[in-house]
Amino acid sequence: MTEFRIGIDLGGTKTEVILLNGDSQELFRTRIPTVRNDYAATLRDIAGLVQQAEAAAGQAHLPVGIGIPGTISRKTGCVKNANATWLNGKPFQQDLSGHLQRPVQMTNDANCLAVSEAVDGAGRGYDLVFAGILGTGCGAGLVYRGIPLVGPNGVAGEWGHNPLPWTAAPELEVRTCYCGKRGCQETFLSGTGLCLSYRLASNRELQGHEIVALARARDALAAQVLDSYIDQLARGLAAIVNVIDPDVIVLGGGASNIDEIYNRIPERLSRYVFGGECDTPVKRALHGDSSGVRGAAWLNPLHNPG
């Protein structure tokens, strides 16, 4: 019987499923909008996506891995730290396993991105890979020689809920975060954070791609907001380099598609990294927004994709 496995990426705006064969070749993929603030509907939607993937495979009860925008507490078995706040405090892994009537592997979505990119993406060939997500939220994962580093608290590599380095206190105070603190990097560096920066500067609501388009059209305010965003990103990444000095930084999520990041970040990093120089390459995720769902499928070790 052919080996198949299913990966699910539960994101802030979309939920995606992928079907891989034993050689990690994609056979089926689709996505739906993420239902928000409805735990029961989240379970139903994921079950529906699994059914679609199994129909494409012609087999039932396939192994399922899922990346979530949070982590599972060792103490309670419940979700914590999720910006999909309706998952927090819920035994999501247990409930989903019951819903699907099989064991389900589950981890942080940034860990899935990091594994995917480290194995055969932009981080391939590097020992220590830091993979950051610049999406609805701002997560990150660490992989050393293909193995994700999770830590006893499930937060290894997480940078989104530290204050943005080298930032004036008034700038931190105006940015409240869902976690209950102020000035978290997520409120600056996520795609949502970019939109917030523009709103604070203009009192207008625009989407991230609209801000970037205005900046490229030489709108002065949008260009200033975008340049500030890249400088803020450089500060956040410099703090990572100063602590763990990864071999490569890989960026995923919607905001990672801003081309200006890769043109300007190298010089900006050197301003903030201790010693005044930085040779760390910063790369866009090779597999784009499919990296997370591919990494989720690999949570079930049927086959070593390396």
pLDDT tens digits along 43-53: 999 999 999 99
Residues 52, 26 within the same domain: yes
Which residues form the domain of 147? 125-285
* Average confidence score pLDDT of the chain: 93
Query: Hey, is 95 helix, strand or coil?
Result: helix
Residues 129, 169 within the same domain: yes
Residues 273, 177 within the same domain: yes
| pLDDT at residue 302 is higher than 60 | no
- What is the CATH number for 61? 3.30.420.40
270 and 276 in contact (C-beta within 8 Å)?
Answer: yes
Q: Is residue 304 one of the residues assigned to a domain?
A: no
pLDDT tier at 6 (50, 70, 90 boundaries)?
very high
Q: Domain tally for the chain?
A: 2
Residue 1: per-residue pLDDT: 54
Q: Is residue 120 one of the residues assigned to a domain?
A: no
85 and 178 in contact (C-beta within 8 Å)?
Answer: yes
Residues 153, 15 within the same domain: no
**Residue 23: Cβ within 10 Å count:** 8
Residues 163, 240 within the same domain: yes
Residue 289: per-residue pLDDT: 76
- Give this prediction's pTM: 0.86
Residues 61, 169 within the same domain: no
Q: Is residue 28 one of the residues assigned to a domain?
A: yes
Residues 162, 106 within the same domain: no
Q: Is residue 57 one of the residues assigned to a domain?
A: yes
Residues 49, 177 within the same domain: no
Q: Is residue 245 one of the residues assigned to a domain?
A: yes
Question: What length does the chain have?
Answer: 306
pLDDT tier at 122 (50, 70, 90 boundaries)?
very high
Q: Is residue 229 one of the residues assigned to a domain?
A: yes
| Average pLDDT for 256-284 | 97
Query: Hey, is 249 helix, strand or coil?
Result: strand
Helical ranges in 121-161 per DSSP H: none
What are 180-192's pLDDT values in tens digits?
999 999 999 999 9
> 207 is written with which tokens?
């989407």
Residues 105, 243 within the same domain: no
Residue 305: per-residue pLDDT: 40
Residues 251, 135 within the same domain: yes
With a pLDDT cut of 90, the percent of the chain lying above it is 81
Lowest mean pLDDT among 72-86, 192-206, 236-250: 72-86
| Average pLDDT for 55-83 | 93
Q: How far apart are the first and last CA of the chain?
A: 22
Q: Is residue 91 one of the residues assigned to a domain?
A: yes
Q: Write a three-state SS string for 217-247.
A: CCCHHHHHHHHHHHHHHHHHHHHHHHHHCCC
Residues 132, 269 within the same domain: yes
Lowest mean pLDDT among 12-16, 30-34, 283-287: 12-16
pLDDT tier at 288 (50, 70, 90 boundaries)?
confident
Q: Is residue 306 one of the residues assigned to a domain?
A: no
Distance CA 76, CA 89 (A): 8
| pLDDT at residue 83 is higher than 60 | yes
Residues 83, 212 within the same domain: no
| Average pLDDT for 161-179 | 95
Residue 306: per-residue pLDDT: 39
